[in-house]
Amino acid sequence: MALRPDLDIISQWITPGSRVLDLGCGDGTLLAHLWKTRQVIGYGLEIDPNKIVKSVAADVNVIQADLNKGLSDMMDNAFDYVILTQTLQAVKHPDLLLREMLRVGREGLVTFPNFGHWRNRLQVGLKGKMPVSRNLPDEWFNTPNIHLCSVDDFEQLCNSEGIKILQRSVVDHLHRTGPAMRLLPNMFSEFALYRIQDRRR
């Protein structure tokens, strides 16, 4: 199975031989890729039984778990990287989950759609309706997203929670970047990808 572009970007941030926890691992595509290309020791957490079956079929170690209940079963510093891709906006308490990620992992890798993108602003401003776009394709009543955020929102949360941003990549829907996105990421990027760490480390 082809690797999603955002997963390809963050996989390049991972040191070979690392211990990796993938939160909301889906069908296990990322962990299978990391095992083959970077020889990681990987585990996934997933709530959907059908996706768990697919992960197991791909020889991925997966545990059924609800991210809204936190990571209390995980030991401190058990992993080098804890990954959360396009899921932050769908959990009940993103701030708590970020803290838990950085308790059990040395670094966190987070990706999410940027609600601050100019097309989203335009739909809200001109139409007065919640936006539907390539990166936010669901209607307001059937979306899994309950805490949409922008690049600026996320970085403000990191600052208030004592989280250090080690690396950021801002991209469009094809996962390309450009001068406008680098200059005004909150306005022009459609997706944001972060490497983060607890400042106390």
Domain with 41 in it: what CATH number?
A: 3.40.50.150
User: Containing domain of residue 11, as a range?
Assistant: 5-115+149-198
Single pTM value for the model: 0.92
Q: How far apart are CA 196 and CA 69, in angstroms?
A: 22
Q: Mean pLDDT, the chain, as a whole number?
A: 92
Residue 67 has pLDDT above 70, yes or no: yes
Name 98's Cβ contacts closer than 8 Å, sequence gap at least 6. Answer: 88, 108, 110, 157, 158, 161, 163, 196
User: 127 in a domain, yes or no?
Assistant: no
Q: Within a domain: residue 172? A: yes
Burial 112-141 (b: 16+ CB within 10 A, else e): bbbbbbbebeebeeeeeebbeeebbeeeee
pLDDT confidence bin for 3, thresholds 50/70/90: confident
Six-digit token string for 92: 């009940």
Mean pLDDT, rounded, for 172-198: 93
Three-state secondary-structure class, residue 100: helix
pLDDT of residue 147: 85
Asked, for residue 130, whether it belongs to a domain, the answer is no
User: Is 110 within 8 Å of 82 (Cβ atoms)?
Assistant: no
- CA 201 distance to own-chain centroid: 21
- Report angle CA 145, 3, 45 to the nearest 5 degrees: 55
Q: In the prediction, which pLDDT does 142 show?
A: 78
Asked whether residue 71 is domain-assigned, the answer is yes
Nearest to residue 115, comparing CAs of 152, 167, 158, 163?
A: 152
Q: Residue 1's pLDDT band (boundaries 50, 70, 90)?
A: low
Number of domains in the chain: 1
Q: What is the pLDDT of residues 140-175, one digit of tens each?
A: 787 887 888 999 999 999 999 999 999 999 999 888
Place of tokens 């989203």: 120
Residue 162 lies in a domain: yes
31 closest CA partner among 42, 23, 39: 42
Whether residue 133 lies inside any domain: the answer is: no
Q: Report whether pLDDT(2) > 80.
A: no
Domain-embedded: residue 190: yes
pLDDT per position as a tens digit, 112-122? 999 999 998 98
pLDDT of residue 25: 94
Over residues 25-48, the pLDDT tens digits come to 999 999 999 999 999 999 999 999
Strand 191-198 relative to strand 105-113, pairing: antiparallel
- Is a pLDDT exceeding 70 seen at residue 76? yes
